[in-house]
Amino acid sequence: MMKTDTLDQIAYALYKAERERTEVTKFVDQYPELTVETAYNIQDKLIELKCTYEETTISGLKLGLTSKAKQQMMGVHEPSYGVLLANMELNAKQPISLKSFIHPKIEPEIAFVFRQDLGGPIVTVAQVLEATDYVAPAMEIIDSRYLNFNFTLPDVIADNSSSSRYIVSSQKYAVNEVDLVNMGCIFTQNDEIFATSTAGSVMGHPARAIAWMANKLIARGQHIRAGDIVLSGALTGSATMYAGDNFTVSFDGMEALTVQVE
C-alpha cells in the first residue's frame, strides 16, 4: 500500500511538470508497487489540483491506447482513460501556439457528446449509442509529462493519460448517420498522408471503448454525465507537432477538421 502523502506528491510532481514544461521520470521505477487502481487515485488528485489552481471544470473524458496502432507505438497493451477539462479545449479556427507544451503530439479521434448520464449498473454498447447526443471529428494533443513519452500503464494513468488539449469539430452527426465500424479515416500532416485507419480500429467499435470506460468509472463511484465530451482514443499513431504544420482528419461522411500550428 502506498501512503496518501506519496500519492499527493506524485500528483503534485505531475502538475508542476506540466506547468513548468519539464519532464519527470516514470514513477514505477521508484514505486514498483504502483498499481492501476492507485494510479487512478493519483489522477483524481491531479484533476482536483488542476480544477483548483486553474479555476476550471471537468468537460468530459478521454480514452487512450484503444487502437493497436497506439498500443504498439507506446508499448502499452491496455487502454486507459483520463479527464478533460474545459480549459483544454481549443478552437480549430485559431492557430495553435506550441509555447505551453513540452513535446506535443497530435492524433485523430472521434468525439461522442452525451445527452444522458451513463449510470449503470452495467453499461452496454447499445446504451452508449442510445445516450449519445452526437458524434464529431476531433483531434487530441497529447503531451506526456514523462521523459521521452516513456511510461508504463500505471504511470500514464497517473499523468491523466497524457492529455493536454483537444479540438472538436462544430459539425455534429447522429450515431446512425455514420458507420462507426467501417468509416475510413485519413490523417494528414502538411497535406500529406500521415496515416489511415477505420473507426473500428478502436476496439472494434469506438462505443465499445466508451462502454469499457463507463464500467470502469462506475466501479470507482463515478460516471459519464449528460453534456460530457468523450474522446474515443486515437485511431492512428500520433504525429509530432512542429511550428507551421497543419493537420487534417477526414472521416467518410463527415466534414474534414483542420488545425494549423503557429
Residues binding ligand OOG (CB under 6 A): 64-65, 70, 74, 107, 140, 142, 144, 149, 156, 161-162, 233-234
Q: Let me know if 13 is exposed, middle or buried by CB neighbors in 10 A (0-12, 13-18, 19+).
A: middle
Instruction: Choose between 162 and 248: whose C-beta lies nearer to ligand OOG.
Output: 162
Instruction: Choose between 131 and 155: whose C-beta lies nearer to ligand OOG.
Output: 155
Other beta carbons less than 10 A from residue 33's beta carbon: 10
Contacts of 106 (CB under 8 A, 6+ apart): 139, 140, 141, 142, 238, 239, 241, 247, 259
* Least distance to ligand OOG, CB of residue 21, Å: 16
For residues 118 and 151, give the distance between their C-alpha atoms in angstroms, rounded to a whole number: 30
* Least distance to ligand OOG, CB of residue 142, Å: 5
For residues 63 and 79, give the distance between their C-alpha atoms in angstroms, rounded to a whole number: 7
Q: Let me know if 135 is exposed, middle or buried by CB neighbors in 10 A (0-12, 13-18, 19+).
A: buried
Could you tell me if 68 and 201 are in contact, meaning their C-beta atoms sit under 8 angstroms apart? yes
Instruction: Choose between 123 and 158: whose C-beta lies nearer to ligand OOG.
Output: 158
* Least distance to ligand OOG, CB of residue 201, Å: 11
Instruction: Choose between 21 and 93: whose C-beta lies nearer to ligand OOG.
Output: 21
* Least distance to ligand OOG, CB of residue 165, Å: 12
Instruction: Choose between 34 and 74: whose C-beta lies nearer to ligand OOG.
Output: 74
* Least distance to ligand OOG, CB of residue 104, Å: 11
Backbone angles phi, psi at 200, to 5 degrees: -70, -5
